[in-house]
């Protein structure tokens, strides 16, 4: 029986599928190959996966309820890792409907099929963006998340609520992972490291929001994948001490769990850029700008629950991670 990974041609999906295939798992990778960013990069990731034994690609849109149901009926999946989504905070300001379609309707279709086919564990992508207007650091899964400041964040919070419904009504084990700023080789072109690298190498100015004072919990892709695989193997269980009088947000009387997954070492954007400049041997032409609408000034993950429950331990330093990305970028683009 195989594992389904949605968003398999995406950044995190590609690396997760690669890691599972290396473990000898059979993987079905679902993606719609949309044009949110350079489709050739998605195709290149997909070509890498198709060279590996045990991989099959399914071209499918998460919003296609019939196609999703048919895929589940054909494949008899054992587990599902749902990473497919419309990503990006800034893009959600101009295209809110695409987020509701993909992230809410698409996730509902996945939940329904998981319920109908007795999937033993669903791991799905949430986001640190759900913390929204909350400024208490570090962010804990046990903190309230009722004040999102972007449609993207609101859809991810909705995913967590929907997942709890299915865990509660149908005893579907679900684990949500709140990702904190992921970076590394094969990354998304719309994210800071990719954009900055491209522009610095071509002599273009880079836009630095919040005047470089943003603090982000930059987490290298290999550490993220380690956490995903650890959670995939730790099937969510009900919390026997959960109380309806004093309800814990991150757990439930149902088989439901929420985890932060980050580096737990926030880095100021200005320092991040300096590390990239050092790696490239070039100085960036910076255009300082105020904080953008819908953004949050800092993220800082408390990962103590994930560490305690799975042994998760991030290992890759910022300098090593940026070096690995730049090496990949120069090789891939022939720079």
Structure tokens given for 204: 């273009």
Interstrand relation of 215-216 and 267-268 (parallel, antiparallel or unpaired): antiparallel
Is 56 exposed, middle or buried, given 0-12, 13-18 or 19+ CB atoms closer than 10 A? middle
Structure tokens given for 259: 């985890």
CA 227 vs. chain centroid, Å, equals 11
Catalytic residue from among 14, 91, 131, 152: 152
DSSP annotation of 209:
G
The secondary structure of the chain in percent helix, strand, coil, rounded to multiples of 5, reads 45, 15, 40
Catalytic residue check, 170: no
Measured distance CA(139)–CA(274) in Å, rounded? 26
Structure tokens given for 159: 């995913």
Measured distance CA(70)–CA(60) in Å, rounded? 11
- The rounded radius of gyration (Å) of the Cα atoms in the chain is 19
Structure tokens given for 268: 């100021």
Active site residues: 152
């Amino acid at each position: 029986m195989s594992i389904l990974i949605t968003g398999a041609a995406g950044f995190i999906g590609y690396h997760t599928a690669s890691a599972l295939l290396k473990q000898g798992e059979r993987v079905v990778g679902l993606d719609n190959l949309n044009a949110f960013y350079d489709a050739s990069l998605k195709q290149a990731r997909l070509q890498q996966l198709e060279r590996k034994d045990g991989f099959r690609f399914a071209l499918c849109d998460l919003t296609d309820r019939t196609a999703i149901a048919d895929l589940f009926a054909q494949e008899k999946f054992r587990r599902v890792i749902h990473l497919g989504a419309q990503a990006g905070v800034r893009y959600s300001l101009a295209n809110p409907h695409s987020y509701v379609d993909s992230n809410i309707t698409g996730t509902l279709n996945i939940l329904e099929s998981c319920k109908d086919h007795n999937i033993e564990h669903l791991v799905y992508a949430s986001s640190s963006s759900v913390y929204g207007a909350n400024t208490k650091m570090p962010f804990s899964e046990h903190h309230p998340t009722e004040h999102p400041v972007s449609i993207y964040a609101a859809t991810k919070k909705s995913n967590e609520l929907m997942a709890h419904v299915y865990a509660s009504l149908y005893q579907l084990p679900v684990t949500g992972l709140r990702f904190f700023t992921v970076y590394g080789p094969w990354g998304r072109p719309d994210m800071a490291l990719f954009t900055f690298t491209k522009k610095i190498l071509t002599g273009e100015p880079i836009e630095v929001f919040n005047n470089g004072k943003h603090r982000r919990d930059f987490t290298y892709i290999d550490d993220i994948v380690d956490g995903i695989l650890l959670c995939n193997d730790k099937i969510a269980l009900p919390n026997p001490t959960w109380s309806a009088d004093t309800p814990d947000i991150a757990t439930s009387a149902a088989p439901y769990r929420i985890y932060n997954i980050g580096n737990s070492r926030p880095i100021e954007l200005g320092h991040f850029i300096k590390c990239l400049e050092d790696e490239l041997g070039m100085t960036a032409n910076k255009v300082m700008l105020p904080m953008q609408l819908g953004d949050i000034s800092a993220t800082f993950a408390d990962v103590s629950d994930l560490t305690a429950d799975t042994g998760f331990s991030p290992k890759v330093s910022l300098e090593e991670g940026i070096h690995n990305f730049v090496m990949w970028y120069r090789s891939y683009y022939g720079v």
